[in-house]
Amino acid sequence: MKNLLVKTLANAGALGVAIWLLKDITLTGENTGRQTITLILVALLFGVVNVVVKPVVKLLAFPLFILTLGLITLVINALMLLLTSWLAGKMDLSFHVEGFGTAFLGALVVSIVAWALHVVLPDDKD
């Protein structure tokens, strides 16, 4: 349970940095409290997408992993961010990513920041 909380907080922080850095990734809300709740819900949704959909896509794209020496991971991460944005829209959450280029940069930012936060934050292994 603690691990889920840490991963969700890391995803929320990483998504928050991406929203702050890239103008085409938006999170709107009436006030800061509403935006914080939305960000946490989007982080949970992003986590579910990464746990459920991403392994299937990686398996199907395995030949591309070999061909590109793993660089296809950046494209897959961007697609997962776009899928999260689409699902957030369906769930009436005010999170939107505008276009693949923005998703690519956003996925890069999210990956770097989430990795750094996972290094800093404690988990069940500590």
For residue 126, tell me if it sits in a domain: no
CA of residue 10 relative to chain centroid, distance:
10
Q: Would residue 38 count as lying in a domain?
A: yes
Looking at residue 1, its pLDDT comes to 62
Domain assignment of residue 72, yes or no: yes
* Location of structure tokens 């928050």: 16
> Is 5's pLDDT higher than 70?
yes
Average pLDDT of the residues in 98-115: 94
| Residue 125 within any structural domain of the chain | no
pLDDT at 115: 87
pTM over 0.75: yes
Whether 89 is in a domain gets the answer yes
Angstrom distance (rounded) from CA 14 to CA 107: 9
Nearest of 28, 40, 46 to residue 96 by alpha carbon = 28
Tally of structural domains, the chain: 1
| pLDDT of the residue at 104 | 96
Does residue 51 lie in a domain region? yes
Domain of residue 22 covers 1-120
Q: Which residue has the higher pLDDT, 122 or 71?
A: 71
Q: Is residue 74 part of a domain?
A: yes
Q: What is the pLDDT of residues 48-103, one digit of tens each?
A: 998 999 899 989 999 998 999 888 999 999 999 999 999 999 999 999 999 999 99
Q: How far apart are CA 100 and CA 81, in angstroms?
A: 9
